[in-house]
């Protein structure tokens, strides 16, 4: 069986769903292929930063979160010998004064449903199997499978939004498995957590260094609790995720106290992060990558929903412009947009974590920021990448006299 689309999106996480939501809304024929059936779990801290809320607002999607998920007012950092630093939102004038903690099982379902309502076809339960071989310099489509059934799907463009282990990226040799740009994390939902309110709590405590832990509140004493570390850190210390988890629960100064009588609601689950932009190359021929597949997680905070939403939008804008003008060369601009907007910060972040994430630096830093709130705010803005304003991606392609996004829906000639 053969199908034909303008864009096939692989993966219905935030990056894939936002890209399909936009492209379908602009009238393009979009198919989203998702290996799991919705609603599905995704291992994550579930923290939605204000910068991500900003993106959701711009897309008219924040209403889906409001009143449904716990709103957060800021972040607290707990350092074993540095005290507690509290940073309140807003961080910078551009971003809203709140974030959320939204379990990904719900958030991703909401976004995927929005994409479907906008007109995208969603095949959940279908796994991307392989790309069709190159023909005349482009990939004509891909093969998807479900329970032994295989389908060939043709597309003008393919968007790989299939997460940090991206099969699309791997098939084209676009992933770079450098431990400097990869991390591992483990999280569990817990109940009976003491003293959590509406602040995200981050624990760069000595006992788990160079790893870091978090407790993100879900309300009613429940929280998303996790630990993680960057893979290159294993060169310096014998790190093991399960051991780190045990240490976090029992031998940290601040976190252990809060978790002393907490119970895990399910077995802790781990996952990979691909960070800092340099863990993959985002384009080859008519295929581009977005979100974690494009290594878009913040190397300092481990926060990736913000960048999945933003790169999903960038990808959609780029593909729409290429489809609208019938010119695939436009895709050349996509990697440049990513390095232009994120390259410098992600590079600084990678270095900051590589050389600064050690107790002899973290403790004095947080000691100072806990006493001088303005310094704390500056640090918060740096960690969450809220220092610079972020122009609307649409402005990039809406050249004077060519506001393509407002034109009638594009239909390619058969
Ligand atoms: C433990 C942990 C905690 C985290 N905490 C936070 C946090 O608190 N806040 C934050 O902002 N970020 C956090 N992140 C990062 C965040 O989860 C990711 O950056 C974000 O999910 C990236 O979104 P995405 O759409 O690019 O990819 P994903 O959310 O990974 O979505 C990819 C989708 O592709 C699908 N897929 C994969 N392979 C195939 C295939 N072959 N065929 C079809 N479909 C496929 C998957 O099922 C999935 O639905 C955390 C990550 C981890 C691991």
pLDDT digits (tens, 9 = 90+) for 387-414: 765 554 444 544 444 434 554 443 433 3
* Residue-level pLDDT at 317: 86
Please give the angle made by the CA atoms of 156, 160 and 165, to the nearest 5 degrees.
Answer: 155
Q: Name every protein residue with a CB atom under 6 angstroms from any ligand 1 atom.
A: 10-16, 33-36, 42-47, 127-128, 161-163, 167, 185, 187, 226, 228, 271, 273, 291-293, 297, 302-306, 308
pLDDT, averaged across the chain: 91
Of 128, 147, 171, 99, nearest to 10 by C-alpha is: 128
Of 330, 7, 317, 331, nearest to 154 by C-alpha is: 7
> 10, 112, 163: which to mutate for ligand 1, most atoms within 8 A of CB?
163
Burial of 404 per CB tally in 10 Å (0-12, 13-18, 19+): middle
Positive/negative CA dihedral, 36, 40, 45, 49: positive
Kindly report, residue by residue over 169-213, the tens digit of the pLDDT: 999 999 999 999 999 999 999 999 999 999 999 999 999 999 999
Please, which pLDDT band fits residue 65 given cuts at 50, 70 and 90? Answer: very high
- pLDDT surpassing 50 at residue 39: yes
Task: Count the residues in the chain.
Answer: 414
CA distances from 218 to 47, 150, 224, 254, 278 (A): 10, 40, 7, 19, 33
Q: What is the distance in A from the centroid of ligand 1 to the CA of 123?
A: 18
> 45, 105, 170, 245: which to mutate for ligand 1, most atoms within 8 A of CB?
45
* Residue-level pLDDT at 263: 96
**pTM of the predicted model, to two decimals?**
0.94
Q: And the tokens for 178?
A: 């450098």
Residue nearest to atom 19 of ligand 1 (CA): 304
Q: Do 265 and 189 form a contact (C-beta atoms < 8 A)?
A: yes
Kindly report, residue by residue over 118-131, the tens digit of the pLDDT: 999 999 999 999 99
All structural domains of the chain: 1-45+103-175+280-357 (3.50.50.60), 180-273 (3.30.9.10)
* Residue-level pLDDT at 389: 58
Q: What is the distance in A from the centroid of ligand 1 to the CA of 308?
A: 8
């Amino acid at each position: 069986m053969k199908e034909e689309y303008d864009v096939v999106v692989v993966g219905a996480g935030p990056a894939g769903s936002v890209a399909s939501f936009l492209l379908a809304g602009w009238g393009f024929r979009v198919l989203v292929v998702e290996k799991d059936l919705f609603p599905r779990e995704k291992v994550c801290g579930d923290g939605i930063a204000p910068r991500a809320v900003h993106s959701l607002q711009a897309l008219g999607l924040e209403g889906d979160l409001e009143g449904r998920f716990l709103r957060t007012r800021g972040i607290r950092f707990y350092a074993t010998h540095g005290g507690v630093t509290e940073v309140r939102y807003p961080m910078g004038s551009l971003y809203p004064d709140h974030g959320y903690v939204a379990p990904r099982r719900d958030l991703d379902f909401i976004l995927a449903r929005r994409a479907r309502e906008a007109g995208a076809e969603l095949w959940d339960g279908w796994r991307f199997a392989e790309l069709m071989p190159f023909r005349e310099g482009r990939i004509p489509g891909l093969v998807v499978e479900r329970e032994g059934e295989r389908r060939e799907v043709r597309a003008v463009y393919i968007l790989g939004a299939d997460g940090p282990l991206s099969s699309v990226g791997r098939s084209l040799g676009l992933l770079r498995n450098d431990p400097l740009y990869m991390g591992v994390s483990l999280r569990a939902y817990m109940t009976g957590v003491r003293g959590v309110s509406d602040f995200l709590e981050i624990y760069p405590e000595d006992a788990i260094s160079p790893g870091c832990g978090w407790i993100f509140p879900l309300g009613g004493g429940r929280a998303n609790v996790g630990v993680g570390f960057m893979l290159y850190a294993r060169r310096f210390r014998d790190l093991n995720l399960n051991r780190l988890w045990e240490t976090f629960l029992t031998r940290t100064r601040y976190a252990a106290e809060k978790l002393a009588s907490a119970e895990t609601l399910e077995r802790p689950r781990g996952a990979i992060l691909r960070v800092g932009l340099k863990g993959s190359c985002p384009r080859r021929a008519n295929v581009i990558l977005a979100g974690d597949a494009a290594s878009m997680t913040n190397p300092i905070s481990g926060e990736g929903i913000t960048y999945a939403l933003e790169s999903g939008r960038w990808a959609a804008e780029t593909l729409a412009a290429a489809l609208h003008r019938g010119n695939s060369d436009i895709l050349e601009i996509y990697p440049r947009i990513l390095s232009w907007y994120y390259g410098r910060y992600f590079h600084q972040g990678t270095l900051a974590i590589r050389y600064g994430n050690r107790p002899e630096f973290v403790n004095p830093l947080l000691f100072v920021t806990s006493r001088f709130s303005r310094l704390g705010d500056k640090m918060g803005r740096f960690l969450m990448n809220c220092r610079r304003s972020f122009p609307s991606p649409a402005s990039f392609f809406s050249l004077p006299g060519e506001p393509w996004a407002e034109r009638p829906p594009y239909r390619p000639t058969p």
